[in-house]
């Protein structure tokens, strides 16, 4: 990377534009040049411009306070780079041409401006751009993008740029002056070794985290609760037994649920049959209640047949009345239209006469209107000229007022300038005592800085002494802590040895293999006893089931026999009822024939005292015969109904008997199947009992159905469980003791390692104690030397600083404050002198401006007088024209008069035309009214004839149907819709009766079919009590079974979790061992271990590069690391038999040469990836003698051979004299400086 040119404008003291072209003569052919000028001229501002253009940052602001600065109108942070804009200017920029590490040429530009480019406005955000000079293309759009593009092409960030291209002021010997801790920070900042501290802390943290994970996994494994095999086997056996019992209960509950459902269905069907019977009765009642409506419906239907005749008569009656009324109205309207037509004709004649008169008046006024229009035109032109004259007069008067004010203001400003010149001259005369300090300001500022350096060195030495003392105290405290920890842990080790010995004794008394064998035997016995108890319970259940099946068989046999008896009785009775029904129906048929229509016709043909054609009798008691026949027919019908009812009841009983027999047979079949299954269960139980009884130590009967007392079996199982629990407790005691011994052994090993590590730490503390003691001695000697230098410099500064208030106290304080006060005093002196010169020139300009203002005032007054005369002349001419115009039409406007005549003429014509149209319309209306009177008379005659015909037809229809007119009208009010609705309602009632009878028949069929399936043995009330009892037992069993299964599932899950945790512990232990090794090697909580190692390597490489440069500057000295500290430095003096000296013991010149060598070495290290071909050193070189100065310059010139161009910023005259090519920054007064390049 190489700097090609530097440009700028209005940056601090560099007013206006400037340019330094490093490719133009004489800078192009030199490897070393100087940037010279007095203090405050702006030398460092050139480097500021370089940094602004490339990085938008200033080296001098990196450590500045962010406190706001500025006036009331604008405040900026102290670190704001825009503060470099020169006071009193609106725009500024910095521009750099450079060659990037890619070989291409670029131009970077930084610029800032105030709003609207006005000095009084606020500063706007700075802007940046980057241009590729080969094709003039812009790189990046926003400032962030431009900064990234610049960094990529330069190859250095800002910190690297400051270390490899720009060695800024006051940072030249920072590395040499730093304490070891600060030097480590500088190495991190300058060479990017901070990553090693981060790696060290990361390794330590990772090792700690891996150990925490391993400990957490161990705790997790200890918390997992796993059942032993014996307890798991018992739970599995109990679970299997509970499952079998649950299945039996489920089957029984299913059977009981079916019986309950049968009873519920039967009750529902009975209720449905009853509801259907009630529905039939309700439908028949509704049908009987609707009989009057059916009669009314027939009458309405008959009346509606006369509706056309009645409606036609009523319509014609209404039409006749309406036509008569309309004819009367038409006669009245015809008379009114005749009167209106006569009036319209008279109005038309009057309007025609008025139109003729208006036209004649308009023609007579023509000549006067023309003269009035001519005068109006001339008056308008005169008013325009008058207005222009008045405007000119007003402008002339305004200009006169303005020039008068300007003249007064110019005279006042000139007077103020004379007063200001007098004040400035008085101030300079009163402050002549400050002139010597101002003229030798650089000398005294260097002395103040040197005094501050000596004071800082004294404070640093005192601080080092205090730190060394604190280190010694900390070492003593840490040693005491180590001793206390050793004593505590040795006591813990002794206690652990005793506990381990006791646990060894406990383990020796227990034999886990024998205990496991005994527990397995007891597990078998307990399982056998549990199965025997279960088998005995199943045998008791089978016995109870057998009794229940026998009871059902007996009950089913009785129901079957009873059904057979009922069937035989019903069949016998059915034969008798069938014969009776045949006889009754025959008698009913004869009675109905005697009462029939044919018999009635024959009886009506009988003649008194004549023989009957059927029986021949001459006596015919017709009334008695009719009465007798009616009673006889009712009797036969009642008898037939009774016999049919009995027949239906017998059919029902026969069906019920058949259904009952089928149910009884099915119950017997089911009982036989249950007895077969029960026999199989009995055989299974007996076989299982025999097998388990052989493994049981108790004497038991061979038949499990003979066992009546289960207490001995239960007692034996409890004893086995108690003995098994005792063995399990002893096994747990053994395992716990084994675990405790392993844990204590691990703890003892860890404590022993801790004691060994503290021994190593104690040795390191002793070494640190020796180093801290030596540091205290060195700090005391350095503090003495610094205090002596401080006293010498204070004596030399006493006289020149006497002009400042409280100078002695301020000298002992912050030197920057005193330097700022001196600079402020010098700046005030310079500004006052510059202001005086500027004000004298300003006064001369103000005097000329006052003379010009007086001349302008006289011209303005003359112009105002002429404008007033012209205004008066225009006003007089306008008054004459207005007087003549007032005699015509009383001065009214010509257009108004002309429009009035025209409007009157047009209005008269319009009124005549309107009257003509009104007369024509009235005549048309009169003819139309007469025609309407004639037409209405004809229509009324025709309607009267039709009405007579319709009334005759209506009367004929009423006579035909036998109803009066009121009945017809009532039926018409109800209408056809009512009749149709009533017909639908009557049909719905009939359908409802049929539907109710069909529903009753269907429900009867369903009830008979359900009863045919067979009624359960248990009643509904018994089932309501039994089913909840069985369901509760099943739910309890389910809950117990769920608990057993949950315990087994938990144990499975715990076993899997324990196995998974063991595998994770093994994997985590491998990871922990790996990271523990890395942490032991490089890890530290503060990152110090690996960081110091890396910084040591970096320092060794830096010293190698610095010694190469130092050998060229002065072969006498050699830099090396001090053995007493990690990053301490020492110097070998070869001229003094390789005497080792501390860097604090070097003189000013020696310190400068060593610092220069270190700075050049750091620049080489920082720019190792991108060779920086330009180097700027902002340092005065004032501490070197002539020989050392020559050596330093030779070393800098030698850098040209490596491809670098070196620029040195200095105001030291011997330095300037030795460098042939110079960029001079010369003060011009008023805070301005001029830049020029010279060749000596």
Beta bridge partners of 97: 5, 107
Q: What is the pLDDT of residue 516?
A: 74
* SS3 call for 941: helix
pLDDT for the residue 1089: 76
pLDDT (tens digit per residue) in 168-207 = 655 556 667 767 666 666 666 555 566 777 888 888 888 8
Q: Please write the tens of the pLDDT for every residue from 297-311.
A: 777 777 777 777 777
Q: Which long-range contacts (CB under 8 A, 24 or more apart) does 770-778 make?
A: 771/1124, 771/1125, 772/468, 772/469, 772/471, 772/472, 772/475, 773/468, 773/472, 774/1124, 775/464, 775/465, 775/467, 775/468, 775/471, 775/1124, 776/464, 776/465, 776/468, 776/469, 776/472, 778/464, 778/1142, 778/1144
Q: Determine the pLDDT at residue 628.
A: 53
Percent of the chain clearing pLDDT 70 (strictly above) = 88
- The pLDDT-based confidence of 1180 (bands split at 50, 70, 90) is low
Task: Copy the structure tokens of residue 1033.
Answer: 């037992």
- pLDDT surpassing 70 at residue 754: yes
CATH 3.40.50.300 fits 1085-1168, yes or no: yes
Using CA atoms, how far apart are residues 891 and 615, in angstroms rounded to an integer?
Answer: 145
Query: Which pair of structure tokens corresponds to residue 1024?
Result: 């309501």
Tokens of 884: 């003549």
pLDDT digits (tens, 9 = 90+) for 953-999: 878 877 877 777 787 778 778 877 887 787 778 777 777 776 777 77
If you average pLDDT over residues 404-421, what whole number do you get? 85
185 and 1177 in contact (C-beta within 8 Å)?
A: no
DSSP state of 125: P
pLDDT at 173: 64
C-alpha distances in angstroms, 166 versus 7, 554, 672, 1219? 17, 122, 115, 19
Q: Average pLDDT, stretch 764-791?
A: 75
Q: What is the pLDDT of residue 9?
A: 93
3-class DSSP state of 5 = strand
Residue 464, pLDDT above cutoff 90? no
Q: Specify whether the CB–CB gap between 881 and 378 falls below 8 A.
A: yes
What is the bridge-based pairing of β-strands 166-167 and 137-138?
Answer: unpaired
Residue 147: the pLDDT is 93
**Banded pLDDT at 6 (limits 50, 70, 90):** very high
Confirm whether 304-364+894-963 and 1085-1168 share one CATH topology: no
Instruction: Kindly state the average pLDDT of the residues 393-412.
Output: 84
pLDDT single digits (tens) 920-932: 887 777 777 777 7
pLDDT at 20: 92
Tell me what pLDDT residue 813 has. 74
DSSP state string for 669-737: HHHHHHHHHHHHHHHHHHHHHHHHHHH-SS---S-GGG----HHHHHHHHHHHHHHHHHHHHHHHHHHH
Q: Which two structure tokens, joined as six digits, stand for 849?
A: 């401006």
Instruction: Compute the mean pLDDT over every residue in the chain, rounded to the nearest whole number.
Output: 78
Q: What is the pLDDT of residues 908-919, one digit of tens each?
A: 778 878 878 887
pLDDT recorded at residue 1170: 47
Amino acid 5: pLDDT: 94
More confident residue, 798 or 479: 479
The mean-pLDDT minimum among 416-420, 816-820, 1018-1022 falls in: 1018-1022
In angstroms, rounded to a whole number, what is the distance separating the alpha carbons of residues 187 and 1093? Answer: 12
Structure tokens at 810: 């301020």
Lowest mean pLDDT across 463-477, 831-845, 851-865, 888-902: 888-902
State how far the Cα of 1154 lies from the Cα of 234, in Å rounded to an integer: 89
pLDDT for residue 600: 62
With vertex at residue 282, the alpha carbon angle to CA 281 and CA 285, rounded to the nearest 5 degrees, is 85
Angle at which helices 1020-1082 and 229-289 cross, to 10°: 140
- Kindly state the average pLDDT of the residues 337-360: 79
- pLDDT tier for residue 1021 given thresholds of 50, 70 and 90: confident
pLDDT tens digit sequence for 821-869 = 787 877 787 788 778 777 777 877 787 787 777 777 788 888 888 888 8
In angstroms, the CA 793 to CA 811 distance is 10
In this structure, what are the phi and psi dihedrals at residue 1128, rounded to the nearest 5 degrees? -75, 150
pLDDT (0 to 100) of residue 568? 82
Residue 26, preceding bond cis, omega within 30 degrees?
Answer: yes
Q: How many CA atoms lie within 13 A of 136 on its CB side?
A: 0
Question: Which regions of 46-155 does DSSP assign to beta strands (E)?
Answer: 68-70, 75-77, 91-99, 105-113, 127-132, 137-138
| Termini Cα distance of the chain | 28
- In the 3-class helix/strand/coil scheme, how is 523-560 assigned residue by residue? HHHHHHHHHHHHHHHHHHHHHHHHHHHHHHHHHHHHHH
Q: Against a cut of 0.75, is the pTM above it?
A: no
DSSP class per residue in 1020-1061 = HHHHHHHHHHHHHHHHHHHHHHHHHHHHHHHHHHHHHHHHHH
Q: Residue 1177 and residue 1199: Cα distance in Å, rounded?
A: 13
Q: Please tell me the predicted confidence (pLDDT) of residue 217.
A: 81
Q: Where are the domains of the chain?
A: 208-289+964-1082, 304-364+894-963, 367-430+814-891, 534-711, 1085-1168
Cα separation of 109 and 131, whole Å?
9
For residue 351, pLDDT over 90 is answered with no
Question: Which phi and psi (to 5°) does residue 806 adopt?
Answer: 55, 40
What CA–CA distance (Å, rounded) separates 282 from 284?
6
Asked if pLDDT for residue 1169 goes beyond 50, the answer is no
Q: Which of 31-45, 123-137, 208-222, 702-716 has the highest mean pLDDT?
A: 123-137
Tell me the two tokens of residue 1103.
């010293």
| pLDDT score of 534 more than 50 | yes
Name the CA dihedral angle for 963, 966, 968, 970, rounded to a multiple of 10 degrees: -130
What is the per-residue pLDDT for 604?
61
Q: Give dist(CA 877, CA 28) in Å, integer.
A: 85
d(CA 584, CA 99): 140
CA 747 to chain centre: 52
Contact between 1143 and 778 under an 8 Å Cβ cutoff? The reply is no
> Could you tell me how far CA 1054 lies from the centroid of its own chain?
41
Quick check: 1189 pLDDT over 90? no
Q: C-alpha 971: how far from its chain's center?
A: 77
Between the alpha carbon of residue 876 and those of residues 19, 382, 383, 866, the distances in Å are 72, 10, 11, 16
Token output for 843: 């006064």
- The pLDDT tens digits for 1148-1162 are 667 777 877 877 777
CATH code for the domain defined by 304-364+894-963: 1.10.287
State the virtual CA torsion across 1060, 1064, 1066, 1070 in degrees, nearest 10: 160
Predicted local confidence at residue 71, as pLDDT: 63
User: For residue 128, what pLDDT is reported?
Assistant: 94
Q: 1063 exposed, middle or buried (CB, 10 Å; 0-12, 13-18, 19+)?
A: exposed
pLDDT at 49: 93
Tell me the CATH architecture of domain 534-711: Orthogonal Bundle (1.10)
- CB count, 10 Å around CB of 959? 9
Is the separation of the CB atoms in 22 and 121 below 8 Å?
A: no
Is 240:1119 a contact under the CB 8 Å cutoff? no
Nearest to 1179, CA basis, from 1170, 1189, 1169: 1189
Pairing of strands 1174-1178, 1205-1209: parallel
pLDDT of residue 1124: 63
* SS3 at position 114: strand
Using CB atoms within 10 A of its CB, is residue 184 exposed (0-12), middle (13-18) or buried (19+)? buried
Q: Which of 491-505, 508-522, 1053-1067, 1102-1116 has the lowest mean pLDDT?
A: 508-522
Fold of 367-430+814-891: Helix Hairpins (1.10.287)
Question: What percentage of the chain carries pLDDT values higher than 90?
Answer: 5
């Amino acid at each position: 990377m190489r700097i090609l040119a530097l440009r700028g404008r209005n940056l601090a003291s560099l007013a206006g534009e400037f340019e330094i072209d490093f490719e133009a003569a004489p800078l192009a052919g030199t490897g070393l040049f100087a940037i010279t000028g007095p203090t405050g001229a702006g030398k460092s501002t050139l480097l500021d411009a370089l940094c602004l253009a490339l990085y938008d940052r200033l080296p001098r602001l990196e450590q500045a306070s962010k406190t706001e600065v500025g006036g009331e109108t604008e405040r900026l942070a102290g670190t704001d780079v825009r503060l470099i804009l020169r006071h009193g200017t609106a725009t500024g920029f910095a521009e750099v041409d450079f060659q990037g590490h890619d070989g291409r040429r670029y131009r970077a530009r930084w610029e800032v401006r105030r709003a609207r480019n006005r000095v009084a406005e606020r500063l706007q955000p700075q802007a940046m751009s980057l241009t590729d000079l080969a094709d003039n293309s812009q790189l990046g759009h926003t400032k962030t993008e431009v900064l990234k593009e610049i960094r990529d092409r330069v190859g250095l960030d800002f910190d690297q740029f400051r270390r490899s291209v720009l060695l800024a002021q006051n940072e030249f010997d920072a590395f040499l002056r730093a304490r070891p801790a600060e030097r480590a920070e500088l190495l991190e900042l300058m060479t990017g070794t901070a990553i090693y501290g981060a790696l060290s802390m990361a390794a330590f943290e990772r090792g700690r985290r891996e150990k925490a994970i391993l400990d957490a996994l161990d705790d997790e494994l200890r918390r997992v609760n796993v059942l032993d095999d014996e307890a798991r086997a018992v739970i599995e056996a109990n679970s299997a037994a509970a499952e079998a019992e649950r299945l039996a209960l489920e089957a029984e509950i299913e059977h009981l649920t079916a019986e309950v459902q049968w009873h519920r269905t039967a009750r529902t069907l009975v209720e449905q049959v009853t509801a259907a019977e009630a529905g039939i009765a309700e439908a028949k009642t509704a049908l009987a209640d609707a009989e009057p409506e059916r009669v009314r419906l027939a009458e309405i239907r008959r009346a509606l047949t006369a509706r056309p005749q009645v409606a036609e008569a009523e319509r014609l009656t209404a039409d006749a009345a309406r036509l008569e009324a309309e004819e009367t109205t038409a006669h009245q309207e015809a008379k009114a239209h005749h009167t209106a037509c006569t009036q319209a004709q008279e109005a038309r004649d009057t309007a025609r006469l008025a139109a003729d008169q208006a036209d004649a008046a308009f023609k007579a006024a023509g000549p006067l209107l023309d003269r009035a229009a001519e005068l109006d035109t001339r008056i308008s032109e005169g008013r325009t000229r008058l207005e222009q004259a008045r405007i000119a007069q007003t402008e002339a008067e305004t200009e006169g007022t303005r020039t008068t004010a300007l003249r007064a203001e110019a005279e006042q400003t000139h007077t103020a300038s004379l007063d200001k010149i007098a004040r400035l001259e008085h101030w300079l005369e009163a402050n002549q005592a400050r002139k010597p300090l101002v003229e030798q300001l650089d000398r005294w500022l260097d002395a103040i800085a040197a005094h501050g350096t000596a004071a800082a060195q004294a404070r640093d030495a005192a601080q080092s002494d205090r730190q060394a003392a604190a280190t010694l105290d900390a070492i003593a405290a840490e040693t005491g802590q180590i001793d206390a920890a050793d004593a505590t842990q040795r006591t813990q080790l002794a206690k652990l040895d005793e506990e381990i010995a006791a646990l060894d004794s406990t383990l020796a008394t227990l034999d886990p293999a024998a205990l496991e064998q005994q527990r397995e035997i007891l597990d078998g016995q307990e399982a056998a006893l549990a199965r025997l108890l279960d088998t005995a319970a199943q045998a008791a259940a089978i016995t109870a089931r057998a009794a229940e099946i026998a009871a059902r068989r007996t009950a089913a046999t009785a129901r079957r026999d009873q059904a057979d008896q009922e069937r035989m009785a019903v069949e016998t009775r059915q034969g008798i009822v069938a014969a009776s029904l045949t006889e009754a129906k025959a008698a009913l048929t004869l009675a109905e024939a005697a009462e029939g229509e044919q018999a009635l016709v024959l009886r009506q043909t009988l003649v008194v005292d004549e023989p009957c054609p059927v029986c021949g009798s001459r006596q015919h008691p017709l009334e008695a015969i009719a009465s007798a026949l009616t009673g006889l027919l009712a009797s036969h019908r009642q008898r037939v109904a009774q016999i049919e009812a009995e027949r239906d009841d017998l059919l029902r009983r026969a069906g019920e008997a058949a259904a009952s027999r089928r149910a009884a047979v099915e119950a017997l079949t089911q009982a036989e199947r249950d007895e077969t299954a029960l026999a199989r269960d009995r055989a299974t139980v007996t076989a299982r009992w025999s097998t388990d009884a052989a493994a049981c130590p108790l004497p038991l009967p061979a038949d499990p159905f003979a066992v009546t007392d289960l207490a001995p079996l239960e007692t034996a199982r409890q004893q086995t469980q108690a003995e098994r629990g005792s063995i399990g407790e002893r096994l747990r005691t053994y395992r716990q003791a084994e675990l405790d011994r392993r844990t204590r052994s691990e703890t003892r090993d860890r404590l022993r390692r801790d004691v060994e590590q503290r021994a190593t730490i104690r040795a390191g503390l002793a070494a640190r104690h020796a180093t801290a003691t030596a540091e205290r001695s060195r700090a005391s000697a350095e503090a003495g030397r610094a205090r002596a230098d401080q006293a010498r410099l204070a004596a030399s500064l006493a006289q020149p600083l006497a002009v400042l208030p409280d100078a002695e106290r301020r000298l002992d304080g912050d030197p920057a404050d005193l330097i700022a006060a001196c600079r402020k005093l010098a700046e005030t002196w310079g500004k006052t002198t510059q202001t005086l010169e500027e004000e004298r020139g300003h006064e001369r300009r103000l005097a000329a401006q006052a003379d010009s203002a007086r001349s302008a005032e006289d011209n303005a007054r003359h112009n105002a007088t002429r404008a007033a005369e012209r205004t008066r002349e225009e006003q007089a001419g306008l008054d004459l024209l207005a007087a003549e115009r007032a005699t015509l039409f009383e001065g009214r406007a010509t257009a108004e008069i002309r429009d009035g005549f025209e409007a009157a003429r047009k209005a008269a014509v319009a009124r005549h035309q309107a009257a003509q149209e009104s007369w024509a319309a009235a005549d048309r209306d009169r003819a139309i009214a007469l025609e309407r009177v004639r037409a209405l008379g004809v229509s009324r005659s025709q309607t009267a004839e039709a009405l007579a015909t319709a009334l005759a037809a209506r009367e004929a229809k009423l006579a035909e149907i036998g109803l009066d007119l009121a009945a017809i009208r009532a039926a018409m009010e109800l209408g056809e819709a009512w009749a149709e609705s009533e017909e639908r309602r009557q049909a719905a009632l009939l359908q409802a009766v049929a539907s109710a009878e069909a529903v009753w028949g269907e429900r009867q069929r369903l009830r008979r079919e359900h009863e045919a399936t067979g009624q359960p043995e248990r009643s509904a009330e018994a089932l309501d009590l039994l089913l909840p009892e069985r369901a509760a037992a099943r739910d309890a069993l389910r809950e117990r079974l769920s608990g057993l299964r949950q315990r087994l599932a938990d144990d499975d899950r715990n076993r899997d979790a324990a196995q998974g945790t063991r595998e994770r512990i093994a994997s985590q232990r491998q990871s922990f061992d790996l990271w523990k090794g890395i942490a032991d090697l490089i890890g530290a909580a503060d990152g110090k271990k690996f960081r110091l190692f890396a910084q040591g390597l970096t320092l060794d490489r830096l010293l190698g590069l610095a010694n190469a440069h130092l050998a060229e500057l002065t072969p006498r000295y050699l830099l090396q690391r001090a053995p007493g500290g990690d990053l301490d430095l020492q110097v070998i003096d070869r001229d003094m038999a390789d005497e080792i000296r501390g860097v604090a013991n070097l003189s000013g010149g020696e310190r400068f040469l060593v610092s220069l060598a270190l700075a050049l070495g750091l620049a080489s290290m920082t720019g190792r990836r991108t060779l920086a071909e330009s180097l700027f050193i902002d340092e005065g070189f004032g501490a070197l003698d002539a020989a050392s100065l020559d050596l330093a310059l030779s070393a800098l010139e030698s850098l040209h051979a490596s491809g670098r161009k070196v620029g040195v910023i200095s105001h030291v005259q011997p330095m300037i004299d030795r460098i042939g090519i110079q960029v001079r920054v010369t003060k011009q007064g008023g805070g301005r400086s001029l830049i020029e390049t010279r060749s000596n």
